[in-house]
Amino acid sequence: MTGDRAGDYRILHEAALRDYLAGVADLKALLGGDPASWAITEVGDGNLNLVFIVKGARGGIAVKQALPYVRLVGESWPLPLSRAHYEYLALSRQAELAPGLVPALLHHNEKLALTVMELLEPHIIMRKGLVAAAQYPRFADDITTFMARTLFFTSDLALSAAEKKEGIAAFAGNHALCKITEDLIFTDPYRIAEQNRWTAPYLDGLAASLRDDLELHVAISRLKLKFMASPEALLHGDLHTGSIMVTDGQTRVIDPEFAFYGPMGFDVGAVLANLLMAYFASAGHERTLGERQAFEAWVLETIEKVWTGFARKFLDLWRAGAEGDAYPRSLFPGETGAARLEAERQAYMQRLFADAIGFAAAKIIRRIFGLAHNIDFELIEDPRKRALSEARAVRLARAMMVETGTFRTIADVTVAARKLRDWQPELTG
């Protein structure tokens, strides 16, 4: 189906959306029946946009429209509509690189900042499933394929320098979304900021200690610089478990509106961080001992599979014939050259692992002390229990950020997480 640049921006609520969709022949046919009978429901529970599910006699679609402001906060925080353009561009590229792992694009209207996608049914937002202690057997394999392919094939390992720079340029305008990350993840949780919040009074002391912790401030500042100044590959940019839809047998990555060229470890770290938060939150949720143990064991196993699977697939792509301008083959001739290049590949992955660990830590801390929290912790009703889970996660996150080098393998992370599972932190209040 074709895109459409016609018309000025306006927010499409139900009636206007119905008229709009009825005017797009392909979508009208896909939905089927009389447009007046279409069921339209606004289901957006993210922080930024409107999302509608539209169902007709024949089929259904998902419609996403960017608002000119941050939905979570309101009109006082304007945000460019151009993010819908970057999201569409990223989804198109991801569909080429990781077919079947993103929703099919059906229609895009640049002026309305509106994108229509296939309706993912019966998929649910993975985070909601994790809160219910669900396990997703295909997830590790699918997400590692997604990350390995989207990151490798948009990097200098696979592209010519010219192609790579064209890619950077295509996403360079998405800086307002990068700025949200720069502020909310890499800065605000470590200083007094109006929008910060945490589980008070229990975490008041921990929040204050974060603001005084200069070793942590150095570590987060290094990560911020890496985020700002390392255009290694096209990132999803917000790859948390709320940006992934799942069934037992399928995984779809959605919502890449934060896409830009940045450090690969940021995407990998996002996945690891969100699994770690699901692990620490588990102790606070009402579930039987058996359910809890099975879920927590699965989460830790999945964390290990996410790194090992990603690293294996990424290296396989690199070894299989990388055509990019980085590491020219002519510099590594013969058997000795091949052996030296392989050693360098291992060193590259070790650096990428360290980046992922640091970024994962940053992602955990922002969800506990910053503006945007997640339901893994938020749905723990008893604030004391919630604070216990959060304090354990923060203890691990600080170590991952400040003592990154002590985590040499992903098992070092899962072992440390397991040790903290029943740790009793001192809480304030």
Residues at the site binding Mg ion, with contacts judged by CB under 5 A: 46, 255
Rounded distance between C-alpha atoms, residue 131 and residue 287, angstroms? 10
Nearer to Mg ion, 239 or 276 (CB): 239
Nearer to Mg ion, 83 or 395 (CB): 83
Q: Considering the complex, what minimum distance in angstroms separates the CB of residue 369 from ligand SR1?
A: 13
Are 133 and 302 a contacting pair, CB within 8 Å? no
**What binding mask, one character per residue, do residues 64-93 give for ligand SR1 by CB under 6 A, x or -?**
------x-x---------------------
Q: Tell me which of ligand SR1, Mg ion, none is bound by residue 180, counting a contact when its beta carbon lies within the kind-specific cut-off of 5 to 8 angstroms.
A: ligand SR1
Nearer to Mg ion, 46 or 103 (CB): 46
Q: Considering the complex, what minimum distance in angstroms separates the CB of residue 184 from ligand SR1?
A: 5
Are 281 and 131 a contacting pair, CB within 8 Å? yes
Task: Provide Rg for the chain, Cα atoms.
Answer: 22
Q: Tell me which of Mg ion, ligand SR1, none is bound by residue 150, counting a contact when its beta carbon lies within the kind-specific cut-off of 5 to 8 angstroms.
A: none
> Count of alpha carbons within 13 Å of 358, Cβ hemisphere only?
26
Residues 182-201 interacting with ligand SR1 (rule: CB under 6 A): 184
Nearer to ligand SR1, 48 or 101 (CB): 48
Under the binding rule (CB under 6 A), the answer on residue 299 touching ligand SR1 is: no
Q: Tell me which of Mg ion, ligand SR1, none is bound by residue 70, counting a contact when its beta carbon lies within the kind-specific cut-off of 5 to 8 angstroms.
A: ligand SR1
Rounded distance between C-alpha atoms, residue 398 and residue 65, angstroms? 37
Structure tokens belonging to residue 117: 């996608």
Rounded distance between C-alpha atoms, residue 87 and residue 108, angstroms? 10
Sign of CA dihedral 279, 280, 285, 289: positive
Nearer to ligand SR1, 165 or 175 (CB): 175
Rounded distance between C-alpha atoms, residue 383 and residue 376, angstroms? 13
- Determine which residue in the list 44, 47, 53, 287 makes contact with ligand SR1, applying CB under 6 A: 47
Q: How many CB atoms lie within 10 A of CB 218?
A: 12
What separation in angstroms does the CA of 262 have from each of 171, 317, 361? 10, 20, 17
- Chain residues binding ligand SR1 by CB under 6 A are 46-48, 70, 72, 180-181, 184, 238, 372
